[in-house]
Amino acid sequence: MRRPIDSLFGRLALLVVCVLLLSHFAWYLLVRFERNQLQTRYAVEEAVFLVDAVRDHVRREPDQPLPSRVRLVDPTSNDVPPDAPNLPMPLNRFLDDVRDRMPTSTQVRIGAPGKPPTLWVRSASDASWIVVPVQPLRPPRPLDRMVLWLGIIFSAGVLAALFAAWQLQQPLRSLAQAVARFGRGLPVPPVRERGPRELRQLTHGFNQMVQEVERTEHDRAVMLAGVAHDLKTPLARLRLRAEMMDEPKMRDGVVRDVDSMTHIVEQFLVFAHDGADRSEPVEVDAQCERVVRSYRAVSSGVPTVQTDLRAGPGFRLPAATLDRILSNLLDNAHAYGAPPVVVSTARTPRGFTLAISDNGDGIAAQDLINASRPFVRLDPARGGNGHSGLGLAIVERLVRRAGGEWQIGNNDAATNGGRGLRVQMTFPLESELRAAAASESAW
């Protein structure tokens, strides 16, 4: 199951959302704190200005009435509020700030609660208490318009960041798809070089690597095909001369050697063939039954090839590719395995599977990794039996070109009655196979 968080775009999106969320939350707290500080400072400055204005007014024009909500109160009046020590923290901070702006030993108090907020101030030079209104210190509201604007800015930032992450992910996705095609042995067109400088350099290096590998593969295929093709004519003449020999024993031995060499040459030609298979797709189950039937017809005694075909009519492969896969694997099983050889197909959630297993000794665990390498013969004595070490390499190349994957390993003795070698190929389901074929034809 694919998880969005596993992709580069998913992780970039999660990172961007978390960073923006943290930054906006921090800015929101900072703005609220600064706004509270500004409110307190403004209230202090306003109160100090009013007190200084009242003092100046009393000193210059004591007979003139005071402004509205500003009054002078006799120190012996009962209206003078007591000095309350247990005030809320914002009020205590406000009073401390006002005292700092006033002369030393100035008394500063807050009016009685339940009435419009007032500030009572009396210094040593004041004959009366100066009472001035103060701006109420309102606590910050839990939600305000700032939250709405932060939400809008956050959403816009997330959308822009996701678009930038998507733009960065697209070149990597194209490169990953090209790497996957290259790993399956499919033709890889040049990947467009876009994105950041490092990504462009990576794409450029990948394109150069693909070109060099294709050039090397082409040169090797041309050389191999040319040598194999040039050997066919001398082999045909050699076989003709061998059949004209009088001594039967020598004639049969030479003919067998020529047939082995001819088989090796044909394997060379198949391995060197680098073109796409344009043959008609056939049902794998039906074709496997026909191929197995032909093997049974030429084998002596009881049939040594069994079938367990359960994939259904939806499993289809190009006819030439399927015939080459089956012929190489069945020849390998007959040559090095032991009966019975089982050809099985199935439909699984991952795709269609085609497997061929035998009941022989299998391959040593340390040799499994080299079993499909070209020109590798695990048994040195096999070289004289018409084997070139290309059978499994051809199968691997054909499977990858058909869009599938393969696994080679030994069977479990408890489940198969013997050790034996098992080659299992997995191909995508019909819809995926059709899409892969369409994309390949488009290239």
Assess if residue 121 is contained within a domain.
yes
Determine the structural domain holding residue 363 and report its residue range.
Answer: 277-442
Assess if residue 298 is contained within a domain.
yes
Pairing, β 129-133 against β 71-73: antiparallel
Last residue of a domain, one of 246, 275, 304: 275
User: Can you give the CATH number for the domain in which 300 is found?
Assistant: 3.30.565.10
Give the total number of structural domains in the chain.
Answer: 3
Residues 408, 292, single domain; the answer is yes
Are 311 and 353 in contact by the 8 Å Cβ rule? The answer is: yes
Residues 438, 292, single domain; the answer is yes
User: Can you give the CATH number for the domain in which 252 is found?
Assistant: 1.10.287
- Rounded to an integer, what distance in angstroms lies between the CA atom of residue 265 and that of residue 396? 19
Continuous H helices in 61-124:
89-101
pLDDT confidence of residue 283: 92
pLDDT confidence of residue 427: 92
pLDDT confidence of residue 94: 82
Residues 237, 296, single domain; the answer is no
pLDDT confidence of residue 443: 43
* 375-384 contact pairs (CB < 8 A, 24+): 379/336, 382/335, 382/336, 384/260
Residues 257, 314, single domain; the answer is no
Half-sphere exposure of 258 (CA within 13 A, CB side): 18
- Rounded to an integer, what distance in angstroms lies between the CA atom of residue 410 and that of residue 436? 30
Last residue of a domain, one of 229, 258, 275: 275
Pairing, β 341-348 against β 305-309: parallel
Residue 347 has phi, psi (to 5 degrees) of: -115, 125
Residues 306, 411, single domain; the answer is yes
- Which residue has 């960041």 as its token pair? 161
Residues 312, 426, single domain; the answer is yes
Last residue of a domain, one of 117, 133, 149: 133
The one-letter amino acid at 210 = V
Q: pLDDT tens digits for the chain (443 residues)? A: 456 666 667 777 777 778 888 887 887 777 777 777 777 788 888 888 888 888 888 888 877 788 777 888 888 888 888 887 777 777 788 888 888 888 888 888 888 777 778 888 888 888 888 888 887 665 555 556 667 777 788 788 778 877 877 777 788 888 888 888 887 667 788 888 887 788 888 889 989 998 888 887 777 666 666 666 667 677 777 777 777 777 777 777 777 777 777 766 666 666 656 556 677 889 999 999 988 888 777 665 545 788 999 998 889 998 888 888 888 888 888 878 888 889 999 999 889 999 999 888 878 776 676 665 654 555 544 444 444 456 687 788 888 888 888 888 887 644 444 468 889 999 988 634 443 454 444 34
- Which residue has 């419009």 as its token pair? 116
Residues 80, 228, single domain; the answer is no
